[in-house]
Amino acid sequence: MTTTLETVMGTSGPGLELAAPRLTREQFLVLHRAMVRTRKLDERGMKLQRQGRIGFYVPSFGEEAAQIGSAAALDAADWISPSYRQPGTALWRGVKPVEMLDNCFGNAGDAAKGRQMPVHYTFRSRNFISIGSPIGTQIAHAAGVAMAMKIRGDGHVCLTYLGDGATSSNDFHTGLNFGGVFKAPCVFICINNQYAISLCVTGQTTSVSIADKAVAYGMPGRRVDGNDVLAVYSATKDAVDAARRGEGPTLLELFSFRMGPHSSSDDPSRYRPKAMEEEWAAKDPIQRFEKWLIANGHADAAALAAVHAAAEEEMSEAAKESETKPAPAKDSLFDDVFAERPAGLLKQRTALLAEGDAHAADMNAAFPL
């Protein structure tokens, strides 16, 4: 059974100590900055929602190491099939915060033209597949993408993220089974943050660990300290390298904790013990990495504080820029489905445009979540 937690920084309990990955000082600092930017984007997103300026947000507080350590192990040409809780991986891919906030505002800058839910990003040019709401669908998509990569022989890898709750979905079985049988170049990353909204992981599965489930699909499974960015990077790099060599998929369980609410519509104090929240606040992945960076002579407290200040400013500017953009043009509703618009759709378009601003007030109605 896979119960041992693999760690580099080694402060969150007994486990298997891994060697620190051989990265340069600059690379360590790039990882740190990416984690801080993720935190600041989430803080900004939650503030915008609380102020009523956007309708909905899904933060990833506490999962920054899991996101950044894993995304950093990919090449730019590899693909990510995300769930809704990895904004940091889009930032890592070079997506600008304003592009993400444009989706939250549903404005004309949104790649999905305001048609998706907020935080349901899609960034085709960064090989970042559109986020879907139904739990687990991205797992089967990832297996399919990886199978295509194998058939084409292009040497790329597809990495997918899922939560502990998603291990109960049909697509978990479909994705891991296809991935395993076809030895597809796929990496399955389960960020076990211990809750699927209000359901604790012990109510989700009787497996001793999520990593254990890999056995049934004939692939390696590893249980890694998800709050340790260096352990996450090392384990993901191993999995990505193996997939690229043609050895097939790996299931990585990144053991972590969702430090914030499930979404802006959730109140975790109704189902989570306060003591547990306090225990995990002390394992904050950003603070933990900062202690390691200072202890290993890579940075001092002032330099790290400057990274926080710069990221705060960056997200504030992005929000200002995004908020000034207009709503998507009404006409855009009719784009992207048909190469040539059928007559019925043309008629609807004419009728909609003839309405002018008759329904403008509806656009400002309360968000239904």
Ligand X SMILES: Cc1ncc(C[n+]2csc(CCOP(=O)(O)OP(=O)(O)O)c2C)c(N)n1
Residues forming the active site: 258, 262, 271
Measure CA of the first residue to CA of the last residue in the chain; give whole Å: 40
Comparison of 128 and 172: residue with beta carbon closer to ligand X: 172
Strand order in the sheet with 79-81: 16-17, 6-7, 221-225, 250-255, 186-192, 158-163, 79-81
Select the residue interacting with ligand X from 133, 269, 287, 332 (CB under 6 A).
Answer: 133
Residues 6 or more apart in contact with residue 110 via CB below 8 angstroms = 102, 103, 116, 328
CA distance 105 to 318: 12
Provide the minimum distance between the beta carbon of 158 and ligand X in the complex, in angstroms, as a whole number: 19
41 touches 99 (CB < 8 A): no
Among 71, 166, 184, 299, binds ligand X (CB under 6 A): 166
Binding test (CB under 6 A) with ligand X, winner from 44, 113, 262, 298: 262
Residue 260 DSSP SS3: coil
Residue whose CB is less far from ligand X, 123 or 195: 195
Question: Nearer to ligand X by C-beta: 139 or 143?
Answer: 139
List, in sequence order, every residue forming a beta bridge with 191; answer none if it has no partner: 163, 254
Tell me the closest approach of the beta carbon of residue 188 to ligand X, in angstroms: 13
* Nearer to ligand X among residue 126 and residue 258 (C-beta): 258
Query: Does the footprint of ligand X cover residue 164 (CB under 6 A)?
Result: yes
User: Which span (192-200, 216-224, 273-281, 309-317) binds ligand X, by CB under 6 A?
Assistant: 192-200
Closest CA to 187 of 79, 92, 83, 85: 79
Judged by CB under 6 A, does residue 290 bind ligand X?
Answer: no
* Position among 107, 138, 193, 227 found at the interface with ligand X (CB under 6 A): 193
Q: Rule CB under 6 A: is residue 134 a binding residue for ligand X?
A: yes
Question: Taking CB under 6 A as the rule, does residue 140 contact ligand X?
Answer: no
Least Cβ distance, residue 163 to ligand X (angstroms): 2
Question: Two tokens at 243?
Answer: 């997939």
Residue of 48, 104, 196, 240 that binds ligand X (CB under 6 A):
196
Q: What are the DSSP calls for 267-318, one per residue?
A: -GGGTS-HHHHHHHHTT-HHHHHHHHHHHTTS--HHHHHHHHHHHHHHHHHH
Within 154-228, residue ranges assigned H as helices are: 170-181, 201-204
Q: Which 9-68 residues touch ligand X, going by CB under 6 A?
A: none
> Could you please report the per-residue DSSP string of 24-47?
-HHHHHHHHHHHHHHHHHHHHHHH
The residue (of 164 and 253) whose beta carbon lies closer to ligand X is: 164
Number of residues that bind ligand X (CB under 6 A): 14
Rule CB under 6 A: is residue 322 a binding residue for ligand X? no
Interface contacts to ligand X, rule CB under 6 A: 85, 133-135, 163-166, 193, 195-197, 258, 262
